[in-house]
Structure 1
Amino acid sequence: MINVGLVGYGLGGKVFHAPFINLTEQLRLHGVCSRTVEKRQEAANDYEGIATYEHFEELLRDPDVDLVVLATPHDTHAPMAIQAMEAGKHLVTDKVMCLNESEALAMIEASERNKVLLSVFQNRRWDGDFLTLKDILGSGILGDIYTVESNITAFGGPHSGWRAWKMHGGGRTRDWGAHLVDQALQLFGPTVEWVFADYQFRYPESSSDVESTSHCLLKFKNGVRCFIELGSAWIFPKPRYHVRGSDGGFRKYGVDPQEATIKLGAVGVSVPEDPARYQMKTKGREGEFQEVAVTPRHGAYRKYYDNIGAVLDLGEELLVTPEESLEVIKTIDAIVTSAECAEVVRME
Structure 2
Amino acid sequence: MANKIRLGVVGLGRVSSSHLPAIKELGDKVTLQAVVSRDPDKAARAAAGWDGVSLYTSFDDALGDPAIDAFLLLLPHDLHAPYAIKAMEAGKHVLIEKPMALNYSEGKGMVEAAEQNGVTLMVGQSRRFFAPVMTSIDKIHSGEIGELFTIHAMLLAYINKPAADWWKDVKHIGGFIIPLWGSHILDYIVWAYGELPETVYAQGYSHNPHWEGEDEVAISLKFSRNRMANVMMSFNAGRVPGDEEGLGGERIWSTQDSVYLRYMTGTKGVLHLKDEHELWDNGEKVECWGKHASNFTWQLEEFVDSLLEERKPLAAGDEVLGVMRVMDAIFASISTNSVIRLDDDVHERREKRL
Normalising by structure 2, report the TM-score. 0.81
The 5-angstrom pairing of residues 169-184 of structure 1 reads 169-170=173-174, 171-184=176-189
Residue equivalent to 1:130: 133
Shift of 1:242: 2.2
> Structure 2: any 5+ residue segments left out of the alignment?
239-256, 344-354
DSSP-derived class of the 1:227 partner: strand
Residue equivalent to 1:154: 157
Q: Deviations over 1:14-52 (max 9, x none)?
A: 31x222233333321101111123421221225343221
Q: Distance in 1 between matches of 2:110 and 2:265?
A: 38
> Structure 1: any 5+ residue segments left out of the alignment?
257-272, 282-290
Q: Distance in 1 between matches of 2:180 and 2:237?
A: 18
DSSP-derived class of the 1:179 partner: helix
Identity %: 29
Are 1:213 and 2:210 an aligned pair? no
Residue equivalent to 1:196: 201
Shift of 1:113: 2.0
Q: Distance in 1 between matches of 2:225 and 2:25?
A: 40
The 5-angstrom pairing of residues 80-159 of structure 1 reads 80-138=83-141, 140-159=143-162
- Counterpart of 2:6 (choices 3, 9, 34) is 3
Q: Distance in 2 between matches of 1:243 and 1:233?
A: 25
Change (3 A) 1:293 1:74: closer
Moved more, 145-154 or 114-123: 145-154
Q: Distance in 2 between matches of 1:247 and 1:315?
A: 38
Do 2:148 and 2:193's aligned partners in 1 also have CA atoms closer than 8 Å?
no
DSSP-derived class of the 1:225 partner: strand
Q: Which amino acid aligns with 1:27?
A: V
Residue equivalent to 1:20: 22
Normalising by structure 1, report the TM-score. 0.83
Shift of 1:125: 1.4
Q: Which amino acid aligns with 2:196?
A: T
Are 1:166 and 2:152 an aligned pair? no
Q: Distance in 1 between matches of 2:91 and 2:102?
A: 23
- Counterpart of 2:305 (choices 307, 310, 320) is 310
Do 2:10 and 2:36's aligned partners in 1 also have CA atoms closer than 8 Å?
yes
Are 1:342 and 2:312 an aligned pair? no
Cα RMSD over matched residues?
2.3
Shift of 1:76: 0.3
Q: Which amino acid aligns with 1:325?
A: V
- Counterpart of 1:294 (choices 273, 286, 293) is 286
DSSP-derived class of the 1:240 partner: strand
Kindly tell me the number of residue pairs found equivalent between the two proteins.
316
Do 1:154 and 1:237's aligned partners in 2 also have CA atoms closer than 8 Å?
yes
Q: Distance in 1 between matches of 2:228 and 2:318?
A: 23
Q: Which amino acid aligns with 1:292?
A: E
Do 1:126 and 1:299's aligned partners in 2 also have CA atoms closer than 8 Å?
no
Q: Distance in 2 between matches of 1:313 and 1:195?
A: 39
